[in-house]
Structure 1
């Protein structure tokens, strides 16, 4: 029997072994359920660009380049799925092992929560939103793992974390608003400081914006396809609906005008004006008949509409945000993009079991972006007042960045799928467990 003094040293080892078993089981389960991954239409367009040898900025050209590099590993969706699954489990794994190494039994909850439907149901679906979330999770956990290490491990870990952070921004440039919060944590690690974060915020955002421009249009020579104007088209449609006045820089027929002002608008997605009948006449005229899409005419019309009808703009944006946060939106992708009337992996028992679990909780708050946004806000408040400095810094970084990221969709969102809030799911799970593992704060956090 071990002596009384030996028992504390055995506890971390036992917890780490248990965590390692759970992580291996989770990774294996992910492969069993999803391999070679679920291709979505967005992913299909990206993969087709690899074959064409062309890149545009509608989808991320960095994802096109990256997928082309790793594609020989498992041609088709397999390589990208393996990247997502590996970063997913590496993120949860490094974090749970870091906690387990200090004997924190709460570490056992991380791999278990990673296997629950709100998180796992998306870990095998090829969306850049998912890869963004897994890259940022891994970035934060690498930083957490090296936060008490000495040189050269600590700066090397910080460097890797920054690369992963930048990779997420290159996948989704709308993450620019949230990235500086995570960057501040990576740079300063266990020091909670609103002042330092505020000082870093604008320079970091400018630097990351410059990195996107350099990568997209310098290194990769991506074709400009004007994705920002999709936001403006959606806003022009929304403002037209609530103001009951046409805000587009084109003239409509009487029947088209009636549809635009009364029948077309839904606070769900901009696709209503692009490809969904009967309101696809909007983009048909704006893009193909008049050629105005991609020209300064759209930003000019948008700015005029917002300035002249600010209440209508806020009504439209508030309606969209409420739908995004609280409605029963698209969750787990199950359609076969090659045979749209069929479900992918219909004969795979493990996949069907996860679909059933996902569908069972779909009506609940657990598949509402608003629930995870609220969870992140609560965790930030709890961490700021109650958790130890190392744990609080991590929780505030991941949950703070997730809060800003989800909130940014108020102005930037053009669709309300649950996947757009996926970073908040991973952040709340990771941040909540880490915050609960820390000792109670003994003095006030640094301001």
Structure 2
């Protein structure tokens, strides 16, 4: 084959990426705003931040609306990072002569759920974009000491850590991987890199919140309340602090939903008498630490806590269920004071339909992607570039077993993308038999999940 053949193939691959990116952007212009984004945009406009949603994102949004009001600038930012990451990853593979890998890398980018979710202005989409761009910069830097590229990747990973309280789990393997190989050569050096990287990521959000002047909202109390409600439901014993309600166990039974914590919040149509404000005030009145109280409740009722967490995880990860937990993507913005909506069009309807339909298959079940990532951790331990992505997908996705209060599929966008990329890298490097063994856990849970849906 002449040199013109690979060059033409590379141009074709780049053209496909540009075409899909343009189509996706046009389909969802100027960007869908969920309820979260509506609240965030309001704070970006006012400049008065709290930390219920990431104030770092609101701070960036406030700077962008100077250029153009509305969701469009944030949509451009998150889509730009997303496609930049995939372009760099595919480009680095192509530059190394691994044409097949470059093509395989593009496939996760084309997941309908990812394209539809990317059309919504969300911290999940922005975080995934930042992580992808960081992974792409790391791949492009290769083994050379290109500190400009590495520094940009580190900055993006620290930025990603300001966007979700659990983003550390996703960013840590990538941050360790972006450091020069000589820094990780011995076990002692590797442990040092992990500890220092974890500390840097852990302080990123608190420092960003303080720098933006965000008011504390007590958002972490949502996890405490949800778990106390679950323990109360499964044990039949009141696990809440002393509240001014009669028979908390019976009231909680009417309110508790293993799918999400929202019934305890103030924004639902019929708020539970055991609500966020009441629990918060009870802790304050008795000068109790919510988090110490929470840990003691877990220790006192470990089986009830485990059952609550497993029931929630089953819904969150879409495992053994006989119904759709909720629509995987939203087709339109929530009502907002500024009237921002997307104009429904054939491309958006087609992407939305594909996203809904594919999410009814194992492609939309986080449990399949997490188990795939776990298999790839084993299979790809000696495959360059695979381990950080597989670990990131497995640790971040698995973290929702303990750290989740809702079952939105968007929480798993990064898990799907990282596992898909890790699979691409491993598939290009290993024989089919070993790849099949790595995929066996995912295949098994897909079979069990499918059977459950057929007989439910």
TM-score (norm 1): 0.87
Distance apart, 1:208 and its partner CA: 2.2
Q: Does 1:123 align with 2:115?
A: no
Cα distance per residue 1:185-241 (max 9 Å; x no partner) = 000359987935443222222222233322211x21211112111110111100111
Partners of 1:54 and 1:12 in 2: how far apart? Answer: 53
User: 2:17 maps to which residue?
Assistant: 23
Find the residue that maps to 2:381 and give its secondary structure: helix
Quick one: distance in 2 between partners of 1:297 and 1:229?
Answer: 11
CA offsets 1:147-192 (integer angstroms, 9 cap, x no match): 144x5xx111110100010010011131223422111100035998
Q: 1:52 aligns with which of 26, 46, 69?
A: 46
Aligned counterpart, 2:386: 395
The 1:251/1:70 distance shift into structure 2, 3 A limit, reads closer
Rounded to whole Å, the distance in 1 between the matches of 2:430 and 2:143 is 16
Following TM superposition, where does structure 1 have runs of at least 4 consecutive aligned residues deviating by more than 6 angstroms?
190-194
- 1:336-390, CA deviations, whole angstroms, 9 ceiling, x for partnerless residues? 31179x99646411111111112222321111111111222222222125x3xxx
Q: Which residue of 1 aligns with 2:219?
A: 227
- Is structure 2 residue 378 aligned with structure 1 residue 381? yes
Contact 2:29–2:342 (Cα < 8 Å) also in 1: no
Structure 2 residue corresponding to 1:332, chosen from 316, 329, 332: 329
Change (3 A) 1:380 1:293: farther
Q: 5+ unaligned residues in a row in structure 2: which ranges?
A: 432-456
Shift of residue 122 of structure 1? 1.1
| Pair 1:434–1:244, CA change in 2 (3 A) | same
User: Counterpart of 2:362?
Assistant: 365
Q: 2:237 aligns with which of 227, 245, 259?
A: 245
- Tell me, in whole angstroms, the C-alpha distance in 2 between the residues paired with 1:407 and 1:272: 25
- Deviation, 1:98, is 1.4
Counterpart-to-counterpart distance in 2, 1:109 and 1:292: 54
Matched, 1:356 2:353: yes
Shift in CA distance, 226/27, structure 1 to aligned 2, threshold 3 Å: same
Structure-2 separation of matches of 1:94 and 1:21: 14
1:86 pairs, out of 55, 59, 80, with 80
CA offset digits 1:19-71 (Å, max 9, x no partner): 11111111111122111111111111111002222111111110011111122
Q: Distance in 2 between matches of 1:132 and 1:227?
A: 19
Measure, in 2, the Cα distance between the counterparts of 1:295 and 1:414. Answer: 25
Q: Which residue of 2 aligns with 1:208?
A: 201
Shift of 1:278: 4.4
What's 1:147 paired with?
142
Whether the 8 Å CA contact 1:12–1:101 is kept in 2: the answer is no
User: Partner of 1:281: helix, strand, or coil?
Assistant: coil
Task: Give the superposition deviation at 1:244.
Answer: 0.5
CA distance in 2, matches of 1:33, 1:191: 44
Q: Cα 1:382–1:210, aligned 2, differ >3 Å: closer, same or farther? A: same
Distance 1:294 1:417 in 2: 34
| Equivalent residue runs for 1:162-177 within 5 Å | 162-177=154-169
The number of equivalent residue pairs is 422
CA distance in 1, matches of 2:118, 2:329: 10
Decide whether the 8 Å contact of 1:179 with 1:401 is kept in 2: yes
SS of match in other structure, 2:205: helix
In 1, distance between residues paired with 2:286 and 2:196?
29
Provide the rounded CA distance (Å) in 2 between the counterparts of 1:294 and 1:82.
48
- Contact 2:33–2:121 (8 Å) recurs in 1: yes
What is the TM-score with the length of structure 2 in the denominator? 0.85
8 Å contact kept, 2:108–2:417: no
Summarize the Cα distance change of 1:279–1:214 in structure 2 as closer, same or farther, 3 Å threshold: closer
| Deviation of the 1:8 alpha carbon | 5.7
The separation in 1 between residues aligned to 2:31 and 2:277, in whole angstroms, is: 38
Task: Give 5+ residue unaligned stretches, structure 1.
Answer: 1-6, 441-447
Q: How does 1:271-350 map to 2 (within 5 A)?
A: 271-275=262-266, 276=268, 278-283=270-275, 286=278, 290=282, 292=284, 296-326=288-318, 328-330=324-326, 331-338=328-335, 345=342, 347-350=344-347
The root-mean-square deviation of aligned C-alpha atoms, in Å, is: 2.7
Alignment-derived partner of residue 4 in structure 1: none
Counterpart position of 1:427: 418
1:43 aligns with 2:34: no
